[in-house]
Amino acid sequence: MNFADESQIAKSALVQSGLADMLHKLWAWISLNDLTLVPTLKLLATFTTNHPQGSQSLTLTTVLPGSGPRKSPNTVSLIHVIIHLVSKEIEKAGQSFNNQRLHFAFHVLRNSVHVHECRVSIAKSNLLQFLSKIHPSSTKRAKPWPLIEVYCLEFLIDFTFFEEGQLSVSKAAEGLDVLIQLSRCNTPATRILALSTLRNLVFNVSNRPRILYLVDFTNLLHSTFKSGSVCEVGIAGSMLWSLIANNQKGKLIARTSGLSNSIQEVLGRLTLMKIPNENQEQELVKMLQYVIQILSTSDIKDNIHD
């Protein structure tokens, strides 16, 4: 593991030697206890960091004896083993939480989302069922759930940077509701992670109509503009910008819900706040003013039924 750290040559050699396939064949033994499982997960996390070829190799493994890596991805590969491990650890977290297992397994998945074959495997799996497991109404945000929320949201931010993640997360059971609820929680870091994930979803045109009509989402924007931090206001502003740009229907919904007034109040509040980074303040003010400008103009070329 140590000699592979930050060494692309070493990692490529491990791919060629079939490291992932070998680990998959030994997994029944590896998973017997943490003395072997946790170091193996650390190894895979190192192996896949900044190395797409290593991540891709996780989709080509098999447990069939006497056979090497497959030529194309399959549905029982090592990445599916990691997905199952994450799901199982979250499922039992209320009774028995293993921080190291979940931390390093999610590390592997976060590395893997940068490879198309891995994203497809994740999107087609049942991994996103964890969204319903971390719903604040179920967990009451008691320990260890706040930490699990962070692991899940950090993964979701990376996954929703890509189209496969944007589409699958928005369609997942309770996915949008969970993200909205976590965007309102009392933990600033978790709020920012959840808001950032929602912003990634909004960037996908296919998701916009559904999100536009969510009253809870509109209320979230109002509350964020009213009492959110500078960072949170910036994320909310960029989400609204995406929803209303070249979208007459989006403009209409934003206007009728009073979001223009909320932004005007933010601009007034920003003049009274002491923001360490003056450039950050100027960029935020400029963006919010532009959003108001978009809302105040009507493009007759847009069709409200589009």
113, 10: one domain: yes
Residues 6+ apart with CB under 8 A from 22: none
Reply yes or no on whether the pLDDT at 24 is more than 70.
Answer: yes
User: Is the pLDDT score of 300 beyond 80?
Assistant: no
Shared domain check, 2 and 93: yes
The dihedrals phi and psi of 276, each to the nearest 5 degrees, come to -55, -40
pLDDT in tens, 155-193: 999 999 999 999 999 999 999 999 999 999 999 999 999
pLDDT at 32: 96
Question: If you average pLDDT over residues 267-271, what whole number do you get?
Answer: 85
* Signed CA dihedral, 240, 116, 46, 98: sign only: positive
Averaged pLDDT for residues 210-219: 95
Closest CA to 254 of 264, 243, 266: 243
271 and 294 inside one domain: yes
- Which residues, in sequence order, are CB contacts of 109 under 8 Å at separation 6+? 79, 82, 83, 86, 122, 127, 155
Examine the pLDDT at 49 and tell me if it is beyond 80. yes
Summarize the confidence of residues 245-273 as an average pLDDT. 91
What's the pLDDT at 298? 66
Question: Which pLDDT score, from 0 to 100, does residue 305 have?
Answer: 44
- For residue 3, name the pLDDT band (cuts at 50, 70, 90): low
Residue type, 158: D
**What pLDDT is attached to residue 272?**
74
What single DSSP character describes residue 114? T
- Position 14 scores a pLDDT of 92
Domain boundary among 165, 184, 207: 207
Say whether pLDDT at 1 is over 70.
Answer: no
Q: How many CB atoms lie within 10 A of CB 192?
A: 19
**Of 163, 185, 207, the domain-final residue:** 207
Helices marked H in 113-245: 116-124, 130-133, 136-139, 145-159, 163-171, 175-182, 188-202, 208-212, 215-227, 230-244
Pair (119, 134) in one structural domain: no
State the total domains in the chain: 3
Per-residue pLDDT at 279? 78
The C-alpha torsion from 268 through 274 and 278 to 282, rounded to 10°, is: -10
CA-CA distance, 138 to 126, in Å (whole number)? 19
Q: Return the pLDDT at 303.
A: 46
Is the pLDDT at 267 greater than 80? The verdict is yes
| Same domain flag for 237 and 165 | no
Q: Are 234 and 284 in contact (CB under 8 A)?
A: yes
pLDDT greater than 90 at residue 253: yes
| For residues 196-212, average pLDDT | 96
Portion of the chain with pLDDT greater than 90, in percent: 84
Residue 110 pLDDT: 99
Question: Do 258 and 223 belong to one domain?
Answer: yes
Asked if residue 279 and residue 292 are part of one domain, the reply reads yes
Does one domain contain both 285 and 190? no
| Tens digits of residue pLDDT in 103-138 | 999 999 999 999 999 999 999 999 999 999 999 999
Specify the pLDDT at position 2: 58
CA max distance for the chain: 70
Same domain, 96 and 62: yes
Kindly report which listed range (63-77, 184-198, 253-267, 291-305) carries the lowest average pLDDT score.
291-305
Residues, the chain: 306
Q: Which of 207, 228, 248 is the last residue of a domain?
A: 207
> What average pLDDT does the chain have?
93
Fill in the amino acid letter for 198: L
Write down the pTM of the prediction: 0.93
| pLDDT > 70 fraction of the chain, expressed in percent and rounded | 93
User: Do 108 and 55 fall within a single domain?
Assistant: yes
Closest C-alpha to 54, from 46, 63, 42: 46
- Domain extent at residue 121: 1-125
Query: Do 201 and 231 lie in a common domain?
Result: no
Same domain, 168 and 79: no
